[in-house]
Every structure is written in structure tokens, then in C-alpha cells.
Amino acid sequence: MRGDGSPTFNKDGSLKIDTRSIAFIPVKKIAVPEKLNLEKTPMLRASPDCNSGNDTFYYISMNFFPSLSHNGGGMAGTKVGWPLATEYATNHPEYFALTQDGKRACDLQPHDAYGMAVCPSGGAQDLVYAEAEKVIADGAKTITIGGIDGYGLCQCNCEDCNKLFGMKAENWDQFYARGRSGKLWQAFFKITERLRKKYPDVKIVILNYQDTPISADIIKKFPVNVIPEIQFASQADFDIRCKGVEFPAGICGFEDTFTGFGQAGPYLPERTPEYIAGVVQAMARNHVKWSSRDGSMGYVRGMQAPAYYVYGRMMDDPAADWKAIYKEFCAAAFGNVEPQMTQFFDLLHMQIAVYSDFFGVGMPGWGRKYSMGTYHDSKWHVMSMYTPEYCADADALLASAEKAAKDADVKARLHLIRIEFDYIRKMSKIFFLQNAWTLNPSQANLDTLVDAIDEWHSDIETLAENTGKHIFKPLSDWPEMRPFGGHPVGCALLQGNGYRQQWANTCERFHRKTQQGDLE
């Protein structure tokens, strides 16, 4: 049986495998020693995308082995957190941040700046400790104490918190200043020290994130039972955070690799194979044995497929030649149309390299000053990568492959790539036409622009289910694959601004179903 409970074999004895998702590299001869005793030691003890409930051939081939140990978070691990639930608000308002006005965060409206911020100094620590004891009693040996997004542990103005941080918190600048100080670690360490004394064999993972920065200026040596989960996008992040700091219990990785948070949108390729090979090498170089990801595996399973493949295969040997692995992928995935598709991906990776290595999540340009300024909306990233000249050349290569492909599995893979490529190509076209209309607001330019918007919307709507759920349906030639991560159609239509993404000043959401006057 497979991990999902379905049979592994068909009635005729053949393996039940979706061959569109996996291809076997042909070999001339397989020699099995008479006394075979093979041991595989995975590079990671916990994989970023492992699903232990369904360990398919894909997971195994990509080194996403069932977790030998886990650190919590998104990997079916054991995680405890701070008391965010409103159920505590009535009986324990002291769990929540005290504002400068003397009110508790739980008494404010959710849209207020404080939201449901928590006090990290008082009784909330006891609650976290009690939750940790419960999971330890159930057998957990490695647990995660989760942080809170948005500086949710840096906003309390109670006496203990003001003493901990050495300053009050009356506005966002002061929240951020508290976070940058790194003093919040001490609140976590009060909990982990209590756990160490009673459960010396248990390890506690704490994410290095926002209000828990790591540097030798902040902390020289971590407690023996604490594993910091270091957020990284490249070796440079390890160089900054690990220099001069001791980690007796080791470190985890928290990767900004494939995320869906990219400033050019969630449905465009984010990383090149060369970049992702460097990520694996950085994990190996820094002895990372557990890793999770800040975000998903990404939603571009066709156009980003070579990077996914290099990522998994490099874990066999981080010193391997990523170019050889990339070539191996193209040969196995595309058969007789390998030449066209290798050129297609070569062009793509050349176009997105600067975005991948500079503007991508966690890279130098990600947090640059004024990165979200008035005219830095996301369309400029799309236009700089997917120029008309590039789109024309890439389209010709993909069309040539589609025409020449013979194998049904190859055709299915090309179908997914075509959907993703047309989505990007036509989005870029809309933005260039919007520029033309902005510079010369003629009726002819407006008609051409609206036609392009209508075509883009129609393409996307055609892929939706007609069940009322309005999500993307499985592909007819690849039933296990839904484009765009199977998300609701409105997400792909980019109907509003998102995290680090600006679409409000673009026009792709306006089409003839809305008022054309919105463009005028």
C-alpha cells in the first residue's frame, strides 16, 4: 500500500505510478552484488517538503525521505506557541500586550496596530511551558516554540517587558527597535532553561526571525538544548549570523528558496538551478540537518521544474556538477525534444538570474530602501524579465517542442509549461500595452490593451472548475496536476496587492466584464 492507503499495484501487477511526474533514466546494465548491504544516510534528517503520510517514488528520488527526526513547523512535527487564542482574553488578559494607553491587546479591535500581540515576560511563559510538557509527555524529543509574525512579542509595555527591552514600545519604529535588539531571546531562554532542568534530553527549536536576530553582538553561545532555526537565502546569511556564535545543539535551516512571496508574483519562476545548487551547498557546508521553508515549494511546477530537480539531486552529493544534473533532467523529462527545451530553459534562467540572485526573497535587493515605493510596483519586475523579444523566442522554442513531441508523458509536461508560460507572457504583454496607452492614451491603444486583458482573463477562467468552488481543475492529460498550486482563480488574477507585491496600480484585473471607464 502507498502512504495514502491506495494500492501500489494495478490488477495486472504493474506499478501504479504517475509517469508524468517521474521519469526513469535509462541504463544499459544494472549489477546487483550477491551480498548487497547498502546504507543511505540522507543529507538532511528532516526534509523541507517531506510528506510522511505519502512517501512516493518522487519523494524518495528527490531525497525527501521520511523524517528521521523533525523540528516542528510544516513537517508534521511537534510545535507549541504563545497564547493567541481569544479564549484566554477573558480569564487571562495579562497574557496579552499592554499598550501605552493602559489597555490589553485582547481588548482592541483586530485591525488596530497591536492586534493580538502577546506579553512575553509574564504568565504566558507558563502557558508555553505547560504546552511543551504535554507534548514531551507524549514522547516528543524535539519541539518547536513558535514565534509570532509581525513583531507580536515586542509590543508589550508592562513593567517586566520595559525592563527586558530597556525601552517602551509606543509605535512601530520602537517595535522594530526592540526586535533588532535581540533581547527577546532572553524570554525564550527562561522557558528553555526550565525545560532543560527537567527534561535534559529534549531539544527546543526557535526560529531566528524578525524579533530574534542572531549575531555575536547579541549572543555568543546558545544553550545546550536550543537549536536555532536560521533563516537564510544564501551562504552570506550563514556568514552573518554564525560568525563568532557557538551552537552546541546544532542549527536548523529556514529557507527562503521557493516561497511564492516574490515581488514579481507567486506564479512566476523565482530561482535558477545555479542559485538553488548554492543553497544546497550552503546547507551542507554549515552542517544543517533539519530544514523547513518560509512558504511553500512554489506554484510553478512546470517552468521551475529544473530548479526543483537540481535541488533534490544535489542532496545526493552537494559537490556534484549542477549543470550535469540540469542536463540529466532535460534529457529525462523531454525525450526527443530535449534540444528545444534545453534552449527554452537556458533562455529563461538567463532572464531571471538577476531577479533570482538579487531581487528574490531574502536576497540583497529584497529589503532594499524604497523597495515598495510608489513606482516600484511588481509589473516592472515582470517586464524586465519577460521582454517582448524574450517571449517571442521562448514561445517559438516551446511551440517547436510541442509540434515535435511524440511521448504522451512529454506532451503532458509541455502542456503544463505552456499554461504557465502563456500566463506570464500575456501578463507581460498587458503591462507593455498599459505603458503604451499611458504614453499615448488613444482609443486604438485602449482597445488593444483591453483585448489583451480579456484574453488573459479568458485563459485563466478556462482552467477553472465549474463546481462553484472556482479553483483550478486537474489537467485532462495529467490528473494529479493542478496549475497554479490548485489555488482559487482569483489569486492568479492578482486582484489586489499582496505581501511585498503591488498590483493595485496595474490594469490586468480590469476587463470587459467590468467598466471600461476604470481604464480611462
> Does 168 have pLDDT greater than 50?
yes
**pLDDT cut 70: percent of the chain above it:** 87
Confidence at 463, pLDDT banded by 50, 70, 90: very high
pLDDT of residue 77: 47
What's the full length of the chain, in residues?
520
What pLDDT does residue 73 have?
39
Give residue 513's pLDDT. 56
CB 75 within 8 A of CB 67: yes
Mean pLDDT to the nearest integer, 460-489: 87
* C-alpha angle 334-344-270 in degrees, rounded to nearest 5: 100
pLDDT computed for residue 515 by the predictor: 43
Q: Which residue has the higher pLDDT, 133 or 10?
A: 133
Residue 211 has what pLDDT? 92
Q: What are the CA-CA distances from residue 378 to residues 271, 495, 498, 500 (Å)?
A: 17, 13, 10, 9
- CB under 8 Å to 258, separation ≥6 — which residues? 270, 271, 293, 295, 296, 297, 298, 304, 307, 308
| Confidence label for 68 from pLDDT (cuts 50, 70 and 90) | very low
Q: Please check whether residue 122 lies inside any domain of the structure.
A: yes
Render pLDDT for 12-65 as a digit per residue (tens, 0 to 9): 776 677 778 778 777 788 888 888 888 877 787 765 554 444 455 566 666 665
Residue 397 resides in a domain: no
Q: What pLDDT score was predicted for residue 2?
A: 40
Residue 67 has pLDDT above 70, yes or no: no
Amino acid in position 285 = R
Question: What is the reported pLDDT for 75?
Answer: 33
Which of 395, 150, 377, 372 is closest to 265 using CA atoms? Answer: 377
Q: How far apart are CA 75 and CA 78, in angstroms?
A: 9
Residue 83: its pLDDT value, please? 80
Q: What is residue 385's predicted lDDT score, i.e. its pLDDT?
A: 97
pTM for this predicted structure: 0.87
Compute the distance between CA of residue 495 and CA of residue 504 in angstroms, rounded to an integer: 8
Q: For residue 435, tell me if it sits in a domain.
A: no
> For 46, which DSSP code?
B
Most confident of 14-28, 101-115, 427-441: 427-441
The pLDDT value given to residue 105? 87
Q: 264: phi > 0 → left, psi -120 to 50 → alpha, else beta; which?
A: alpha
The number of domains in the chain is 1
Within a domain: 338: no
Residue 244: inside a domain: yes
Query: Per the domain annotation, does 337 fall within a domain?
Result: no
**Residue 336 near residue 415, CB atoms below 8 Å:** no
Lowest-pLDDT choice from 82-91, 162-171, 293-302: 82-91
CA distances from 116 to 42, 119, 152, 175 (A): 40, 10, 7, 14
- Residue 199 clears pLDDT 50, i.e. is over it: yes
Residue 465: is its pLDDT beyond 70?
A: yes
Asked whether residue 474 carries a pLDDT value surpassing 60, the answer given is yes
Cα–Cα distance, 87 to 93 (Å, whole number) = 10
| Mean pLDDT, residues 464-469 taken together | 75
pLDDT at 60: 61
Query: Which CATH number covers residue 184?
Result: 3.20.20
DSSP secondary structure code for residue 428 in this structure: H
**Top-confidence residue, 81 or 420:** 420
Burial of 373 per CB tally in 10 Å (0-12, 13-18, 19+): exposed
Mean model confidence pLDDT for the chain:
86
The mean per-residue pLDDT over the stretch 473-483 comes to 90
Query: Would the pLDDT of 333 be above 60?
Result: yes
Is residue 315 over pLDDT 60? Answer: yes
Amino acid 62: pLDDT:
66
Could you tell me if residue 315 is inside a domain?
yes
Neighbours of 168 (CB within 10 A): 13
Q: Which residue has the cell 529556514?
A: 254
Residue 507 counted as domain residue: no
d(CA 365, CA 495): 25
Residue span of the structural domain in which 79 resides: 57-326
Per-residue pLDDT, 510: 67
Q: Are strands 203-208 and 78-80 parallel, antiparallel or unpaired?
A: unpaired
**pLDDT single digits (tens) 125-143:** 999 999 999 999 988 888 9
Four-residue CA torsion sign, 16, 20, 25, 26? positive
- b/e map of 268-292 (b: 16 or more CB within 10 Å)? bbbbbbbbbbbbbbbbbebebbbbb
Rounded average pLDDT over 326-332: 95
